[in-house]
Amino acid sequence: MRKEEVLKSLRGIGLVPVLRAESVDKALALAEAIAAGGVTVLEITMTVPGAIQVMRKLAEQRPDILIGAGTVLDAETARMCILEGAKFVVSPALNLQTIEMCHRYSVAVLPGALTPTEIVTAWQAGADVVKVFPASAMGGAKYLTALKGPLPQVDLIPTGGVSLATAAEFLNAGAFALGVGSDLVDAKAMAAGKPEVVTETARKYLAIVNEHRAAKNA
């Protein structure tokens, strides 16, 4: 899949679940539960034990899922993830060498930034989308609205503080897509043997995205 197609898919789904888990098997089970709800984009964080193995298995077993690598802190890790099937690379902070590596492989890169200076620096360095993290620490959707005023050309994915209660606010503020953590990637529900809880939450998020687009296009 070409980078342009990856970015189109990210915008199309409108959600990037940030998958964290204690093991490969738990990560795979979470991925299945999320995908069952119609969300076929996943960011596998490097904090997951065996994260590379998770990416490899998903790439082989679920080609319908758009797999990204998350919490990527350096160019070497980015390259390793790309070679194992990651179609986009996300980081919590700005690392220019990681952007360069992703460009070398024509892979979408979503570096993290928080201040206007960091965001513009990331954009000028070639970020395809900038991850605003942690968005909640700066006021949530109101902060995104403030950023989009002078920076309408920069695509932003807010992460941190995104929930079913706040998702619509972030979308109305101009989010390219939403980075969603534990509110969707519910490890407790999985541990309780209730993957259907995660699946239903995924459906609810998709419904919010679709309602936003319907209202915007009305």
Say how many residues make up the chain: 218
Distance CA 118, CA 107 (A): 21
Distance CA 133, CA 113 (A): 6
Instruction: Calculate ∠ Cα 61-66-70, nearest 5°.
Output: 105
Per annotation, catalytic residue among 43, 57, 84, 169: 43
Per annotation, catalytic residue among 26, 57, 87, 131: 131
If one counts every other C-beta atom within 10 angstroms of the C-beta of residue 130, the result is 27
Is 131 designated active site?
A: yes
Beta carbons of 14 and 20 less than 8 angstroms apart: no
Beta carbons of 211 and 218 less than 8 angstroms apart: no
What is the sign, positive or negative, of the torsion defined by CA atoms of 32, 37, 40, 46? negative
Distance CA 206, CA 184 (A): 11
Please name every residue paired with 46 in a beta bridge, in sequence order, or none if there are none. none
**Which residues are tagged catalytic?**
43, 131
